[in-house]
Amino acid sequence: MDLQLFSLDPGSALAAGVARELGAPLSPHEDRNFEDGEHKLRPLVDPRGADAFVIASLHGGPQASPHDKLCLLLMFLATLRDHGAARVTAVVPYLAYARKDRQTKPFDPLGLRYVAQLFEAMGTAQLIVLEAHNVAAFQSAFRCPTVHIDSCPAFDALAERWAERGPIAVASPDPGGVKRALLWREHLEVRLRRPVGFAMIDKRRSAGVVSGGHLVAGEVEGQSVLLFDDLIASGETMRRGALALREHGAQDVIAVAAHGLFIAPAADALADPAITEVAVTDSVPPFRLTGDGPLARKLHGVSVAALFAQSIRACHAGWAP
């Protein structure tokens, strides 16, 4: 069965990288923009009988909101189904509304569950996502099969370089990310063949207000600490975490995240000298960062194209219609 690969992210380096890794071209499609802001998307190849994968990262800006991108993706998936695609898979490097996975205030929405229902209503066969905010909640929200890609292997080369400085530890910037950090720690211990430390920072968020961030559980003195989270938005969580780790004797603090949203004033927060380096994947282009400031000089970008290609290849090879 033919594999068709589409990208709804114009000029996406990640999508181009996935196509190169797969040895398959990006299939062409028409994106027509009407004067009132409506769009028309249609494939320019026949999708009948194809195993179609559609790449679309649902971050906001610079030209469309997460709502716009979600709507376009859903409509394109449905279009492929209408015209005979045997299966359609949404490949979503950054999943919008994944952070709203539980009710914390009276009458709160469950954004992640509602997004899942929209994908299912369009006949989406499966979803491939990089580093969901809460893996258990993500997997539970969807009734269709899901593939969750851990981002930590993308940072292996950088981690090996950081480990050359001496002892290293992985830290979670808040209690919610402990499992994610522990899994990376285990991964690094196997790869580096040496012990890797672990720490957790106490941080709480309510109504958009961050509190805590001073208590560190774990030994970090004299170590290079990899402060690992699913995303960086304003950068304040990373800045607070780095300051706390430095107060407890960390030699270096490297802020590592799968998704670099870099909402203002992230550039200022991450430029804090408490943070030695910053590393993110290409799931979200760093379009909000401009100029050659302190952050630009210590920012590392790594590609997750190979990880997505591996997942797509496995999904395609293992499926029997």
298 is catalytic: no
CA distances in angstroms from 247 to 219, 221, 226, listed in the order given? 12, 9, 15
Nearest Cα to Cα of residue 252 among 166, 320, 126: 166
DSSP 154: G
Pair of tokens at residue 154: 């993308």
Contact status, residue 217 vs residue 200, Cβ threshold 8 Å? yes
Which residues are bridge partners to 49 per DSSP?
A: none
Among candidate residues 69, 100, 179, 203, the one labeled active-site is 203
The pair phi, psi for residue 23, each rounded to 5°, is 70, 30
CA distances in angstroms from 28 to 5, 41, 46, 64, 132, listed in the order given? 9, 11, 10, 20, 29
Whole-number Å distance between alpha carbons of 110 and 215: 30
Whole-number Å distance between alpha carbons of 182 and 196: 10
User: Which residues participate in catalysis according to the annotation?
Assistant: 203
